[in-house]
Amino acid sequence: MAVSLSLLPGRRMGSTVTRGDFEWVHSDQPHTERRKEILAKYPEIKSLMTPDRQLKWIVMGMVLVQLVACNLLRDLTWKWVLFWAYSFGGCVNHSLTLAIHDISHNVAFGNRQAKWNRWFAVFANLPIGVPYSASFKKYHIDHHRYLGDERLDVDIPTDFEGWFFCTPVRKVIWLTLQPFFYVLRPLLVNPKPVSRMEVWNALVQILADLVLYCVWGFKPIVYLVAGSVFCMGFHPISGHFIAEHYMFAKGYETYSYYGPLNLITFNVGYHTEHHDFPSIPGRKLPAVRQIAAEYYDCLPQHQSWTRVLWDFIFEETLGPYSRIKRNRKSVM
């Protein structure tokens, strides 16, 4: 039986977050052992570890939609440019970042065509307005391999974030500024050398932005970049950032959401299943849950990303510190 997080006892509304530190554990992440158990019991799941042949066509369609939108809004007033950036363009761009998330696991063309996956991610990156895909892949692999690691998993907030953003107002500010924290945090916590692919990603993106500016002016650029910032900040879709790993139930570090927003987010809501089987495309993750239902239906799950944001802001037990964290020695 599924456990709704909104029904769990002991969750209180308050002004200041009661947590003063992360939830430190010395055990390994649960996904490794569960993956072994499920594959031993249901070896047919291996048949799902194949490329998603539809993904590239969907992404190309989304890029085309944004190109058409740029043409349509080039003569609008600024207030309408920003309105459509938040209500439409940002939603498409957020969805594209989740397509890039899928592509980072080589599910567009398969593991044997890693270079094709990397360049296709650069293509999917174009409407986002700023280079993103190459850097994301570089750090996202560590997030899976070293989930909760104090240095290597840069998805975890810094101590400053946990200490400072501890009231409802500050948590709203923190959620709004999420895009900037996701950019700056890796540079502070685990800086890595700039890769050749990151350079190419930046050059291609700058060239595309220049072409767009020369053809249709500055408003399409603002529409794309502002939409990316808006919808990766304080927006219902961005609730998945909090829903995925923040500890809404003690001892659980990954949560799934099975609601309708999965239709426009490449099933990123199936996050427990994704961490168990990162090589399975998002489109096929519902099949994992269907085959191995007894492993997932008993876990706490979210019913609404909007409710996730509401609870995160107003409940005194939740804040940036609400993450399971591991000492490096416990994950090596």
Chain position carrying tokens 């168990």: 276
31 pLDDT band (50/70/90 cuts)?
A: very high
Q: Which domain holds residue 284?
A: 3-331
Which class for 330: exposed (0-12), middle (13-18), buried (19 or more C-beta within 10 A)?
A: middle
Please, where are the H alpha helices in the chain?
30-41, 55-72, 78-84, 90-103, 114-125, 133-145, 159-164, 168-176, 178-189, 196-216, 219-231, 239-245, 271-276, 285-291, 293-296, 305-314, 328-331
Looking at per-residue confidence, does 18 or 242 come out higher? Answer: 242
Strand partners, 301: 4, 256
The predicted pLDDT at position 17 comes to 85
Model-wide pTM > 0.85: yes
The predicted pLDDT at position 328 comes to 73
Of 7, 94, 98, 93, give the one whose Cα is nearest residue 55.
Answer: 98
Does pLDDT of 15 surpass 80? Answer: no
18 pLDDT band (50/70/90 cuts)?
A: confident
165 contacts 174 by C-beta, under 8 angstroms: yes
Share of the chain above pLDDT 70, in %: 95
Mean pLDDT of the chain: 94
7 pLDDT band (50/70/90 cuts)?
A: very low
Does pLDDT of 330 surpass 60? Answer: no
Q: How many domains does the chain have?
A: 1
